[in-house]
Amino acid sequence: MKKLDWYILKKFLRVFFFSIFLFAVIAIVIDISEKTDDFVRTGLSATEIFTHYYIGFIPHIIALLFPLFVFIAVIFFTSKMAGQTEIVAIIASGTSYNRWLRPYWIGGVLLGLFLWVSNQWIIPKAENVRGSFEAAYIDANSTYNALLTSSSDIYFRIDSFTYAGIYNYDTANSRGSGFFAYKVEGGKVVYNIRAENIQWDTATKNWRLVEVVERKVLNEKEVVTSAVELNKNYPFKPVDIKKDRYTKDKLTTPQLIQQIKLEELRGAEGLNELKIERYRRDASPVSVLLLTLIGAIVAGKKVRGGSGSHLALGFIIAAVFIITDRFSTIFSTKGNLPPLLAAWIPNMIFIWVVYYLYKKAPK
């Protein structure tokens, strides 16, 4: 890397980290003002609230708008360079336009890789902290969420041949007043089990069944056995049954992939939300690079309006990006748009935007 690369790259990273830090501080202040009553009800100290909530909230809010802040940072410092005729001097010195864009490529790739690694492992762990706190203290105070955690009947698929159901399942205590499961082979039920009660045993990490009756069909004969209590190691846990809106965010990418396979096996609904989250974690780092290049090309041209016109155009492009992303997500979760396509549509569109702006840029 030459002096030119270091000069632009330092400006790029300095402005980005300052803007993201400033935004995080503002977001924390607003969040505290909205949740003050909830924090008081928890009875936790300021240190405990920070370690149990904000240590996860800060990465969440940064990751949420990471690509857009990269874009704004690029437009801001590049527009300032253009206004001071620095870019004209760089090009006039014999530096090619592509050579001038090199540090933007480097910065975009570095920040994209940082976001990619964070999306796979760091952000999910932070979401686990934030989500657990909100589920325990914030959502617990909501009457709407209280209805979601009340008892209900649940039916699901354990594997390719086994189906199960739990009556009056209490998500808060991980237990139900009735449980049944049956296995089908060749269009016939070959196994059936029923229990008066089912409870998750936190010590053994198994399900404890009470007043159990098992029926097995062997060589066209039915064998019936009963037991007062029985422990079963079923391939589902309370977290798989509980309707937790934070689940997909809490899982690291390997766990998310495993969860998608498990839900596909069970024939569960709402798989598109999990799949979009999986593909979005790979698509958003590419968005960082594309928005970096768009910002450099747009702001690299000296205009009469200066930084103001560049920022105005930048906000328009950012708004189009967000709208495209939201619409593709909605069409996938509520319609038939494939999740992979939904996650990558914004990037597919903005690749052509980069190409068009590059071709039209004065070199």
Mean pLDDT across the stretch 286-290?
96
C-alpha 356 chain-centroid distance: 31
pLDDT grade, residue 149 (50/70/90)? very low
Q: Hey, is 41 helix, strand or coil?
A: helix
- Which sequence spans correspond to the domains of the chain? 3-141+270-360, 152-241
**Under 8 Å between Cβ of 317 and 333:** no
Please tell me the distance from the alpha carbon of residue 286 to that of residue 111, in angstroms, as a whole number. Answer: 10
What pLDDT, on the 0 to 100 scale, is given for residue 140?
Answer: 60
How remote is the C-alpha of 340 from its chain's centroid?
Answer: 14
Q: How far apart are CA 118 and CA 292, in angstroms?
A: 19
Q: Which residues pair with 114 in a beta bridge?
A: none
Beta strands of the chain (E only): which ranges?
152-157, 162-169, 175-176, 178-185, 188-201, 206-218, 221-232
**Number of residues in the chain:** 363
pLDDT at position 131 is: 85
Whether the Cβ atoms of residue 298 and residue 75 lie closer than 8 Å to each other: yes
Per-residue pLDDT at 244 = 64
Distance of CA 74 to the CA centre of its chain: 25
Q: How far is CA 298 from the centre of its chain?
A: 30
The C-alpha atoms of residue 347 and residue 291 are separated, in whole angstroms, by: 9
Q: What is the pLDDT of residues 300-349, one digit of tens each?
A: 988 776 677 887 888 888 889 989 998 999 999 888 899 999 999 999 99
